Amino acid sequence: MLRFMSSVLLAVGVTTLLAGCGSSGGASAAVSTPLEASAAEARAARVDDDQLELLESGTVTYEDYELAMNRAYDCMREAGVTVDIKGVKKYHGVTVLDATTQTADGDPAISDDCYLRHARYVDAYWQVSSPDAIAYADRRADALKPLLRDCLTERGIDWPKDASFEELGNLAFDPAAAPDETNCLDEIGYSDWDG
């Protein structure tokens, strides 16, 4: 099974963006920053000490992200997983490693375990909550907010005039819509925007 690594699922990114910067997964209510929330979640998941140390350092840089991902890739290689790092690419405003992994038997469990232990929370923070990711999200919100308002209006969905992009985005997911029906975020190119 060929898998693409170093990408938080878009749904995770959208959910985090639309839910705000609060923590999930039972992290303490006293957590005040996204980095502290990531560290608390990683601690609860009992990740490798090296990953936790990066999250507790007070900042996560690209070098920290790359270090964590390479530790995960080394773990995978030691377990017999083929890892192909093609270089780097931009993904939603941040630089990420462009890599694929492939297990001999197609079972992703080894890759998933290595990723969780060594990189998952650093990767998620880097791609969703780092200063570069936040700046990109802000630019995207500014560019797409008028289109999102128009789409919601065309679909007959009322929205408050002072609604934030996140609030409008939450309205884009109509629970009564058919599973294959395009929502307004898809229609305006939210996931493909590369500004």
d(CA 46, CA 42): 6
Residue 9 has pLDDT above 90, yes or no: no
Q: Does the residue 122 lie in any domain?
A: yes
Q: Does the residue 41 lie in any domain?
A: yes
Residues 144-184: pLDDT tens digits?
A: 999 999 999 999 999 999 999 999 999 998 777 667 788 99
Contact 29, 37 (CB under 8 A): no
Considering the domain architecture, whether residues 150 and 69 belong to the same structural domain is answered as no
Query: 60: Cβ–Cβ under 8 A, 6 or more apart, which residues?
Result: 35, 54, 122, 125, 126, 130
Predicted TM-score (pTM) above 0.85: no
Q: Which domain holds residue 71?
A: 2-129
Q: In the chain, pLDDT over 90 holds for what percent of residues?
A: 74
Q: Does the residue 192 lie in any domain?
A: no
Residue 23 has pLDDT above 50, yes or no: no
The three-state secondary structure class of 6 is coil
Q: In the chain, pLDDT over 70 holds for what percent of residues?
A: 83
Of 36, 31, 72, nearest to 51 by C-alpha is: 72
Number of domains in the chain: 2
Residues 103-119: pLDDT tens digits?
A: 988 889 999 999 999 99
d(CA 170, CA 87): 35
- Structural domain ending residue among the three candidates 85, 110, 129: 129
Q: Give the model's pLDDT for residue 3.
A: 53
Q: Does the residue 195 lie in any domain?
A: no
Which residues is 95 bridged to in the sheet?
90
Q: Does the residue 93 lie in any domain?
A: yes
d(CA 76, CA 115): 8
Considering the domain architecture, whether residues 43 and 73 belong to the same structural domain is answered as yes
Phi, psi of 85 (to 5 degrees): -95, 115
Q: Give the model's pLDDT for residue 83.
A: 97
Q: Give the model's pLDDT for residue 7.
A: 41
Q: 141: phi > 0 → left, psi -120 to 50 → alpha, else beta; which?
A: alpha
Q: Give the model's pLDDT for residue 195.
A: 81
Considering the domain architecture, whether residues 72 and 164 belong to the same structural domain is answered as no
Residue 121 has pLDDT above 90, yes or no: yes
Q: Does the residue 193 lie in any domain?
A: no
CB atoms within 10 A of CB 109: 10
Helices (H), the chain: 10-19, 34-45, 49-55, 62-78, 109-118, 120-128, 131-154, 165-171, 184-187
Q: Give the model's pLDDT for residue 177.
A: 67
Residue 71 has pLDDT above 60, yes or no: yes
Q: Does the residue 194 lie in any domain?
A: no
